[in-house]
Structures are given as structure tokens and as C-alpha cells.
Chains A and B, each alone.
Chain A
Amino acid sequence: MTLPRRLAADLAGQGIRLFARFITAVRADWQGIEPVPKQRVYFANHTSNGDMPMIWSVLPPALRRQTRPVAAADYWLKTPLRKFAGAEVFRAVLIDRRPEARTEDPMAKILAALEEGSSLIIFPEGNRNMGPDPLLPFKAGLYNMGRAFPDVDLVPTWVANLNSIMPKGEIIPLPLICTVTFGAPLHVGEDESKDAFLARASAALAALAPKVQS
């Protein structure tokens, strides 16, 4: 990446963080972990396109630099602006959700990023949750990551309130307060089955949701 582009990406990143702070007064609640630079997979609930920038914004700079969100290529490659934001501001690991169109295995790309030492932000529900349930069933990816990298902390991360701040289809964001809660890290047990682990991870994440349902 050339220097001017990198500066532009840094500047855009700062802008996104300031915007997130201003609109939602976004705050991190480190319940189960300390904000220290350790390799982690932050797995979060997904109700809005703003989820990933919120988590990214509350990470302290040292952690943010080593953290890459896993995001959908079809969304982040659509326009030049999104391409710039996805690839250079967030340095996302872009994966293709459409099995018929893709040329590389998404799981292999994710594992390669972990191999390089990056921390990741993932949304194990796979899609934005528009329904009344707090969480959709998790995809298997989280389990595969935990299996392949048993030392990496899998951190449940609850983003509260974003679905009211910017529901799908609305144009104006409401300046409500958004809180990102980090829970205690999980690891896949010695002989834990995929379904048992995913159920445990889902329960750990749901437990971080604020008691008040607004």
C-alpha cells in the first residue's frame, strides 16, 4: 500500500471511530477479558451493518492493529468506496458467501489469517438477525477455528442496541448509547462435539445481552 493511501486509510479509520463515538457514545465493557494484545477471535451477534465498525472502534489501538474483521466479499467489493474501506481501513478478511461463485475456500482464508497471528472479528450467525430471537443458530466456522487453533481465545462479544440505532431500511441513525460487552473466553473441549460447542458458545454470547429488552 502506498504511503498516501495508507494515510488516507488511517484518517478514514479515525473518522469512523469519531463518528461512532459521537453518534452512539460507544463504550467497551471488558467483563471477561482484559484489553491486552493476545490473539483472539471476537465472535459477536449481528443485527446491523454497524456491528463490525462498533467492535473495531472500541478496541484500543494496539489491539485494533492486530485485529481483522471477517466480512462478506459480495458486500465489501461492490463499490470502490466499500472496497477501500473493507480492504484498507478495516483490512477485512473478505470471504465469498456464494458457494457457486467462489474460487477459494473461505475457511482456508480465515485459518490463514489466524496463522499469520491476526485476531479476528466474526459473526457466527452468518447473516444479520432480523427476527425476534436473540441469536440465530451458529455456523460451524467458529468450531473449526477453535479446533485448528486451540490456544486462541474465542471471546463472546455482545453489541447492544445497534438494531434500534439503525434498523434495516432506515436512513437516520438514532444517537442511542451502544455498549460492546466482551465475555470470558471459550476454547473447544478435548472431545467436545461440534453441536455441543456451538450451543455452549451461543449460550455464552446470549448471556451477555442486557437484561432489559428494549
Chain B
Amino acid sequence: MKSFKEVAPEVEATVVWHKDFKSVNDWDAVVIPGGFSYGDWLRAGAIAARSEAVARLSEAVARGIPILGICNGFQVLVEAGLLRGAFLPNEHGRFVCRWVRLRVERPRGPWLKLAEDGVEVHMPVAHGEGRYYVSSDEYKELNSSYPIIRYIPEQNPNGSSYDIAGLGSRDGYVLGIMPHPERAVTPLLTPRGFRPGGELIFRSISRSLKSGW
């Protein structure tokens, strides 16, 4: 909410509790935030992925409503089968919270409208189960035609396959990202040597909703 206020005040954003998410028709776009869902028991996002709200999200995907999953939101999208792959506990076994450098490849769709191919963006990660996993066969397909956001190799904070930090659906309508764009929108809260990369995503969706993508 604050991120939109900060960088895209023209977007009207509201927090909706999952039980109040009754109809996809009411919204132009949906963001599933980070945090924890159902204690993250079983696996992060696994129980939320079987909830009614997420069943409605699948409808939204079918209708082409843009969906962004951040951190736990990304895990929910993967567990729900709306994005490929799976998540494992971080390779070093600890929670990790720090700023990372990322590269956007094949930007496409409403959330990455303003991104240029190969652009470097910065934002912080904060997760314990962020090791994205995908088989080498599936990766070949992803890497040929899907939007991918990658940790710059030596900055992979969790052992993710192929340094993957974020992934889109082929058309980019659905985007999942492990780092937190909403924590990277203001220079005041951005450490020295980094730039607030989250604004790219919030500005993109704002522009997309206004003038298409």
C-alpha cells in the first residue's frame, strides 16, 4: 500500500483479507504479499495454495488479471501450480535478510512493462525457504521463453537453481519474486551502493493499467 502511495499514487490499492476476496471482477490486479501463511506448516505456501482465495486467483489468471506474488506470495503461486518449480529451505539452513542485485531477463507483461531486457535492479530478500528449484528439462523451457529475474551469480543468497529469484508466466501476467520490491521504493531506506529497484514494478503496473501492456 505504502509502495503504491510512494511511487504510483494514482493507483488505488486496498488490503483485502483472503476470506473477503469474493470475486475477481472487483479488481484490476492482485498482489499477494510476503509474510507467512498458515504458519508455513507443511511447506511455505502449501496450505494457502489450497484455500478458496487462491482458487479464485486461478480464475483471475484465466481471465488475464495481472497477479504479483512477493516472497510468500511467490511460494503460494508455485504451490498452487500457477508458476513452475518448487521451493526448498535455503542451502545454508538460515534465514537470510539482505539487499541483493538482480537482473531482469525477457521482461514481458504488466509488471515489467518499464523494464529493459538485462536491466539490473536492487532490492532486499528476507526468507528461510527461498531456494527455488526446477529440473534441468523444465529450466530449458523457462530459459527460452519465460521472464526470469536472476540473482547476479555471486550474490545468490539461498542456493536457488540457476540463480532464479523471480519468474513470470510466459505472457508475464503472473509474476512471482522472492526479493521484496515493496521494501525498495524509497532512497531513504536504501543502503549505500544500491538503488531502490522495487519502484520499477509498481510504476510498471500503474502504467500498464492505464495504457495497456
Does B associate with A?
A: no
**Which residues in B have some Cβ–Cβ distance to A below 8 Å?**
none
**Which residues in A have some Cβ–Cβ distance to B below 8 Å?**
none
